[in-house]
Amino acid sequence: MAERKAVNKWYPPDWDPSKGSINQYRGQHPLRDRARKLDQGILVIRFEMPFNIWCGQCERMIAKGVRFNAEKKCVGKYFTTKIWEFTMKCPSCSNVITVQTDPKNTEYVVVGGGRRKVEDFDVDDAEVIEFMDDETRAKINADPMFALDVRGSHKLKADLDAERIRELIDLQSQFEDDYATSRKLRSDFRTAKRVRLEEAKEAHRDNLPYPLLPASKTDELESTRVWFGNEKPSPNHHLERLSKRHATILPVASSTSGSRKVHSRSAAIELAARRGINISSFRKHSPSLSTSHPPSSTIRVTRKQRSKSPSNGSASLLGSQYDDDDDDD
């Protein structure tokens, strides 16, 4: 942003270098609106909250890392180090929060408009360096044995950290060869892509709108338990259906049951011939035909060209040929 502002400037035709810089010619500061209070020693900067704080008015917690447009000014010195004060407003209310630097303790201090959120943590869990206070430093300088214990604890911690660092180095060494790692990754991706394409083709062939899961042993067992019925259709089911359809519904005597069966069978054969159904192979499989005729009997019906002369229903079988050995009797 600063580089863009430095090079992308428009110079008016009436400007020349003798009039100074373009900012002097226009009567403005290079920092523009950020320097509007520069005569009061205040500069507007981007300030990032160094820790979590509570707002003193709305009790909102402002998290660490939240940025503000803060007014920065010098309010004093600690020896030769300046003490800076940052003033900003709470995002939820108009409360003014003031934070100052503390060069003595190397930290920030909330001096107005809020309070710091107290958070306790373990140095080892947070993996940060623990600084010694003044009392510990004085004790180390005065007591050699205490100093030896402190150095021993530091050495033990350094050994543990070194072991962990070696583990991290070994882990990273697996990916040291970038070419081999990239080649293996691309090969695995191509293999998976081929599998997905094959599955997509199979799903398209089966006209399924969604992908299917791969077959498993459970699917095979479940498919064997599916029952589609234990009765197979009879080879002459067409003839039997026609015989039942054209059978009489009136009650008849038992003595005429044989003639009734013959009449139904004859009507069925006539209708089958009329519809062009070949029943020459039905005799051997039909139980009704085998019981009403001797085994040597043969029934054959073939459809031929109908006669153009008018005929009744029985004459519709003109051209059909019947062969029955029992007729000689």
- HEC string for 239-291: HHHHHHHCCCCCCCCHHHHHHHHHHHHHHHHHHHHHHCCCCCCCCCCCHHHHH
Averaged confidence pLDDT in the chain = 75
Confidence grade of residue 188 (pLDDT, cut at 50, 70, 90): very high
- What pLDDT shows up at residue 154? 86
Q: Are strands 96-102 and 67-78 parallel, antiparallel or unpaired?
A: unpaired
Q: What does the pLDDT average to over 158-175?
A: 88
Per-residue pLDDT for 246 more than 80? no
Task: Look at 71-75, 152-156, 176-180, 272-276 and tell me which has the smallest mean pLDDT.
Answer: 272-276
Collapse the DSSP code of 7 into the 3-class scheme (helix H, G, I; strand E, B; otherwise coil) and give the result: helix
Per-residue pLDDT for 190 more than 90? yes
- What pLDDT shows up at residue 217? 87
Residue 281 vs residue 58, higher pLDDT: 58
pLDDT digits (tens, 9 = 90+) for 29-41: 777 778 888 888 8
pLDDT digits (tens, 9 = 90+) for 112-129: 999 998 877 666 666 666
Report whether 37 contacts 71 (CB < 8 A).
yes
Per-residue pLDDT for 294 more than 60? no
Confidence grade of residue 291 (pLDDT, cut at 50, 70, 90): very low
- What pLDDT shows up at residue 259? 52
**Which CA distances in Å does 130 have to 119, 125, 126, 151, 199?**
15, 12, 10, 14, 59
Report whether 99 contacts 111 (CB < 8 A).
yes
Please name every residue paired with 206 in a beta bridge, in sequence order, or none if there are none: none
Q: What does the pLDDT average to over 99-106?
A: 93
Maximum mean pLDDT: which of 20-34, 151-165, 180-194, 253-267:
180-194
